[in-house]
Amino acid sequence: MTTSINIKKIKQSRICDIDFKNLQFGSQFSDHMFAMEYDDGHWQNHRIEPFGLIEVNPVSAALHYGQSIFEGMKAYRGVDEKIRLFRPQMNHKRLTASCERMCIPPVEEETFLSAIEELVRVDHEWVPPYEGQALYVRPVLFADEGNLDVRPANQYRFLVITSPVRGYFGADAPAVALKAEEKYTRAIQGGTGFAKVGGNYAATFLASSEGRQEGYAQILWLDGVEHRYVEEVGQMNICFLLDGKLVTPPLRGTILPGVTRDSVIQLTRAMGIECEERMIDIDEIIDGIKRGTLQEAFGCGTAVVITAVGSIGYRGKRYEIGNGKIGPFSQKLYETIVGIQRGEVEDVYGWTREVSIK
């Protein structure tokens, strides 16, 4: 059964205020948002309304106990002017896993997809026209019950907002520098590292701030027990082209199961290149840099797509990788993924989902 969504449009669009040639990341928002509430055991009041401020219960479990999750995805304008989502079913799968971990009632796939597609359809003019840009889609789900008891809430709110964005690091960004973190911990097994939980990100701010003061763009997180095994980067998964093989940390409950990560693995294997999902000792990476067997390193994620890693700082020393630019293998992955998203490369995997414009 198709989800019924009530639509109330804004009286005057704000799109004339947007300079699509000079977009930032996540600072400007489209005309409308999707909203619904969970009460009495079911999700209700599905609607699209003008984007704006909302009232939140001051004693909600989201504010006091962090019972909140989110997702991140994009809508792309293709070279054929068609608008496509990229693997949204995977985002729903991850949202459902996050809901389960945080004791939040899940949103059905049909409702999730219908909400996003209808919102993008209503604000389709906000999907940027230039390569490297997209309409970022941010679903967020949080507790909204007025009770300070330490337990899962009985009332929740689900919102979807959209924002026209450039690439996360900007156009033609150089390879990023990462600091391998040995003092702070992002996640441990049994925790919430695999879920899109707001607290996961807030907990990284201190280490990231200290890293930026030392000249590093982001943190390369190591495992929370020995601070020895590579896990992920601040806003992306991490991959290495090591001695002719693609090597990336395994999904063992401590890193995010990235949509782009999964796409990279599938594309790599389709190219006939061996791919290993395994524990990676930071010493193996540093040794590979010294010996020249680490050919490329890159981060991957919805916000960044593919971003080259140009150096890694470890124990007070910075180790350079390549020439500070994206490598040929990383570039090929970038062009293939972006090509599929923009309709330039045939989508043999069935990854894209077209949003029909009425």
* Angstrom distance (rounded) from CA 71 to CA 98: 9
- Closest of 61, 72, 139 to residue 104, by C-alpha: 61
CA-based max dimension of the chain: 62
**Residue 48 carries which side chain, given as an amino acid letter?**
I
Low-confidence ranges of the chain (pLDDT < 50): 1, 170-171
The pLDDT, as a whole number, for residue 170 is 47
**Tokens 């090929």 belong to which residue?**
332
The pLDDT, as a whole number, for residue 303 is 86
* Angstrom distance (rounded) from CA 28 to CA 166: 11
The pLDDT, as a whole number, for residue 266 is 98
* Angstrom distance (rounded) from CA 52 to CA 31: 9
The pLDDT, as a whole number, for residue 218 is 94
3-state secondary structure the chain: CCCCCEECCCCCCCHHHCCHHHCCCCCCCCCEEEEEEEECCEEEEEEEEECCCCCCCCCCHHHHHCCEEECCEEEEECCCCCEEEECHHHHHHHHHHHHHHCCCCCCCHHHHHHHHHHHHHHCHHHCCCCCCCEEEEEEEEEECCCCCCCCCCCCEEEEEEEEEECCCCCCCCCCEEEEEECCCCCCCCCCCCCCCEHHHHHCCHHHHHHHHHCCCCEEEEECCCCCCEEEEECCEEEEEEECCEEEECCCCCCCCCCHHHHHHHHHHHHCCCCEEECCCEHHHHHHHHHHCCEEEEEEEECCCEEEEEEEEEECCEEEECCCCCCCHHHHHHHHHHHHHHCCCCCCCCCCEEEECCC
Contact at 8 Å (CB) between 255 and 232?
yes
* Angstrom distance (rounded) from CA 247 to CA 278: 7
> For residue range 184-204, what is the model confidence (pLDDT) as tens digits?
999 999 999 999 999 999 999
Contact at 8 Å (CB) between 118 and 8?
no
CA distances in angstroms from 160 to 5, 52, 110, listed in the order given: 13, 12, 15
The pLDDT, as a whole number, for residue 338 is 94
**Residue 333 carries which side chain, given as an amino acid letter?**
L
* Angstrom distance (rounded) from CA 97 to CA 93: 6
* Angstrom distance (rounded) from CA 73 to CA 143: 22
β-pairing, 245-248 vs 237-242, is antiparallel
Question: What domains can you pick out in the chain, each with its CATH number?
Answer: 6-165 (3.30.470.10), 176-341 (3.20.10.10)
pTM, full prediction: 0.94
